[in-house]
Structure 1
Amino acid sequence: MPSDIEICNIALSRVAVTQPIASFTEHSKLAELCRTFYAQLREQVLQDFPWPFAGAHVALADVGSPAPGWRFRYRYPANCLFIRGIVSPSWRNAPTSDAEIPFQVGYDAGGRVIHTDQADASVRYTFKVEDPTHFAPLFVDALAWRLAMELALPVSSKPEYRAFCEQEYQKALTVAEGAAFRESQDGPEPESEFVAVRS
């Protein structure tokens, strides 16, 4: 996989910059701009799509004392960047939109918490990935386009470059969605204990 600097240089090339940077610390306007935008945009692109390489599914730790209006309060996962949804421990697949479990993120003295009515809740989430050797190729492409969007005006002063990069970024997310769909296969959900007891 390309390094962070190589991803920046891909982005620069997409806005017609022919002079690559060698590091984030070199004394140049281009390096300063890449250093300013890169980490923030990497996290934003991770949040914009449920990238399989950055996905996790874990049981939540109940910390008790639920907030008014909620039945449970759980500790927010330490490495979580963005919550995709709360799920029942018996669910293998992500719930459909009509079966999504309500939740709300809050704070207490120990940090972030998750309020929900789901007992024994699990969470699907995206975690923060900083090492570019773990990036999927489609993520690299999307990140380079997203970075090019921010670099377009400072380095080229051409609004049409930014608009083009934004279109290409959306296309990259669409391609990633198709690839993620092809790389997984949902099966039927396990029968719930309630249904099993009734039958």
Structure 2
Amino acid sequence: MATSVIEICNNALNDLGEEAIASLADNTKAARLCNQRWPAVRDAVLRAHPWNCALAQAELAASAAPAGWQYGSAFPLPADCLRVLSVCCGGADVRAWEVQAARILCDETGPLQVLYVRRIDDPRLFDPLLCETLTARLSATLAYPITASTALAQSFWAAYADKLREARGVDAREASPIAAPAPTSWLTAKMGG
């Protein structure tokens, strides 16, 4: 498990055969690239899967601002929200909702209970496989700018996809299985039930 952003960056740089950096503020091409790319890589990997270590819950109140023409209410998202996973109101799932401009839009009056993937800035809170997946994506992202090799970049993107698949499998086994939805009346009719 990584203890710092620098450790994850150095793992990625080492995979690329580069020298380690001491700080994101170092005056080297590798440090500048890590400093520039790290926030987007972190957020993309966190958003790619509902990592157990990044899950959060919040209760949201409706905004006074209008929701627009499609929905009746708008609920501002928490500042650290990267991806909304589920939306409930009064203990029942909200069926029709969408995220627009950092708000959940729906026809409920609220409050909403939201399960979401949050941005985590402290790598000490990351799952070890999340750290490996972040390292793999950062290696893939930095491969071409550092080495100018398309083949190497493609190889690192494939390694990232493999690492993400492995981490998703392990992470998914650390929670109760999600029940399959009940069949709809259409499906019941088609099946002769």
TM-score of Structure 1 vs Structure 2, range by shorter chain: 0.7 to 0.9
Shift of 1:124: 1.7
* TM alignment of 1:10-159, pairs within 5 A: 10-17=11-18, 19-64=19-64, 65-90=66-91, 101-107=95-101, 112-120=102-110, 121-159=112-150
The residue type paired with residue 16 of structure 2 is: V
The residue type paired with residue 21 of structure 2 is: I
Partner of 1:9: 10
After superposition, the C-alpha distances for 1:126-157 in whole angstroms (9 at most, x for unaligned) are: 11110111111111111111111111112212
Shift of 1:88: 4.2
The 3-state SS of whatever aligns with 2:25 is coil
> Which of 143-152 and 22-31 deviates more?
22-31
CA distance in 1, matches of 2:82, 2:126: 16
Shift of 1:119: 4.9
Partner of 2:165: 174
The residue type paired with residue 143 of structure 2 is: A
CA distance in 2, matches of 1:139, 1:118: 35
Instruction: Check conservation: 1:85, 1:101, Cα contact below 8 A.
Output: no
CA distance in 2, matches of 1:72, 1:63: 7
Give unpaired runs (5+ residues) of structure 1.
190-199
**What's the RMSD between the two structures over aligned residues?**
2.3
Give the share of equivalent positions with the same residue, in percent.
Answer: 29
CA distance 1:69–1:132, change in 2 (3 Å) = same
2:154 paired residue among 144, 163, 168 = 163
CA distance 1:125–1:152, change in 2 (3 Å) = same
Instruction: Check conservation: 1:5, 1:22, Cα contact below 8 A.
Output: yes
CA distance 1:188–1:85, change in 2 (3 Å) = closer
Normalised TM-score (structure 1) = 0.78
The residue type paired with residue 30 of structure 2 is: L
CA distance in 2, matches of 1:181, 1:113: 27
The count of aligned residue pairs is 177
